[in-house]
Structure 1
Amino acid sequence: MEHVINDIKQKFLSGVPIDKIDINTDMLFDWNLQEFLIKETVLNDLNITYPLKVEYQVSFLKYLLRKLQELQIEEIHDAIYEQLTIKLREANLEYSYKHFLMQDKGITIKESNSFVRDGTTGLKLWPAALALSDFILQNKLKFKDKSVLELGSGGTGLIGLVLLKMCEPCKVFLSDCHNLVLENISKNILMNLKDVEKENLQNSLRVHTHLSLANKMKEFGILDLAWEDIDASKSEILKLKPNVLLAADVIYDVSIFVPLIKCIKEVFQIAGPSLVFYLSQTIRSITTFNEFSNLLRENNFKITKIEFISKHFFIDETSTEIQIFEVKLNEKLVQ
């Protein structure tokens, strides 16, 4: 029974669609079990300190009430009605949080409640980033002792946090070009560090710094990297000299293909032919994706789809197809 409640808690805290939360109709939802469920979800310490979107919490409580009524439960816990009344009176804020519980560790992410804010979509957590995070967790050895650079990190920093907390890379650098996005990445990273890990750090991580995580020093940085002006960031990339390049959901507009390809080429030129690029992409338009793939091939890259089955460390929020690819320099041309 506890594992069922734990599953509901994990899905609730990570903000999955309500219809993907299975409230088992075979369970006896007596007064005590209802109280336990509310304490593990809406009244969870994580949600009280860093609350999920109010609309989402209201939807969850209404869904829970409907399920209990379908089960013809005679006594519905007062706390459910109380919390629903409270949440209905609360206004949605500009930002909300999601919490991902993995093994004995957790990651909390602050994101915008709007798809677009201040001219950027980079403050939302997108499904392709969830899929890439899941891929990283299933392939930790690919990132052990590696130097990793992420392009177009967006404002959540989730992928960087997964690398820092769950893997053992030697260096992790995240990058984007929007000031608000870069600041939110910094805040999310700091929010997820323990006090001892934040010693000697300033309020911003937008510098080349060192973090002591699990008693191991790791180089970390957040780069202001515009794809069309990659030359401005060359010195930092030279210091990093990445072994692994990452990107999630960066293929959405044909107008950015040329600068993105140029940026990828420059990183490979700095890092050398052994660099591996993992790309996670929501395939919204196969025509658009094929155009990008063809550009990669024209520029001497080989792109291969990775057969990947999500183990749901992170719950995908969409039914749209997400694929993960490995991109390398074409070996024949390198030779």
Structure 2
Amino acid sequence: MSVQSSAHPAPRPDWLWHAGLIAFVLAWWVIYHRLIAFSEFVTGLFPADRHSHTGEAIAFFFYDVPKVMMLLTLIVFAMGVVRSFFSPERTRALLSGKREGVGNVLSAGLGILTPFCSCSAVPLFIGFVSAGVPLGVTFSFLIAAPMVNEVALVLLFGLVGWQVALTYLAFGLGIAIVAGFIIGKLRLEGWLQDWVRDIHSGANAPVMAEGERLTMIDRYRLGLEAVREIFAKVWLWIILGIGMGALIHGYVPEDLMVRIMGADAWWSVPAAVVLGIPMYTNAAGVIPIVEALLGKGAALGTVLAFMMSVIALSLPEMIILRQVLTLRLIAVFVGVVGSGILAVGFLLNMIF
């Protein structure tokens, strides 16, 4: 009995998990509201005047790094629990067989629930295409998953306000739905790689989702695992992105940023899109840069166009997509999505 007991320790009681979650949320709330004081304290430890360029950059960095990390932890955990109700098989079953238009809206909405960077969303995209989900519907998911996920929205809300977050949500979903619909109407299934095109649509036979039998404690564990996995992928990009944002915030002259991304320069939006495509980061990494650019007076439409191109049209994503798409179809994807991003950038610069 003693050997069996040591090999299989008694599980923690359910109430302890619930109490621990409540304690974590309360501690998170208290710490989050003390981040400004923490940033000022750390900045004061450096031999730089607080109101100098260096002081501003240091304060920006030590405020935004813990802020982004804390927001990411809370949201990814919550969405890890939510996603435990949606297995890949169930998601495929929801998307396959839906009419164009309805399927595009549904897949774009599902993309919001997946806090993936563009490269992380590609494997699921490949699974959808291989399983016979309509091509345009899968593209709506591929666009929305990295560009309009809950991480991007929460970080935008926390760093630059709810108005910008809602604007980004509306136009990002619009691009995902419309671009996917257009690609579906073009009937480009023949431009898939041969091995994908030859797979029969019956490959997506419904599978009973294990998540239907999960307990709430199991879902907590999945949320913790999601935090671990996502952090392993993005923590470096967060620090690099915030570091770049801190340099922009502290050192880049305002007149230079207005000249590059100002609303009066007609070429600023296409220049921002072209500049963003070769870069590779995710919402957590690029939003601090967005915050710094907006703080310097850059135009909202130009900055959001830059953010969209960085997240939705990254070069590494295109390399991975080459496994399932021909170069012609990749070019169509970039052209349609890029055109939508340009339209959003110009429109927002006209409105704001």
Please say whether Structure 1 and Structure 2 have the same fold, judged by a TM-score greater than 0.5. Answer: no
TM bucket (normalised to shorter chain) is under 0.3
Structure with the larger strand share: 1
- More RCO (CA 8 Å, sep 6+): 2
| TM-score scaled by length of structure 1 | 0.25
**Structure number with higher helix proportion:** 2
TM-score, L = length of structure 2: 0.24
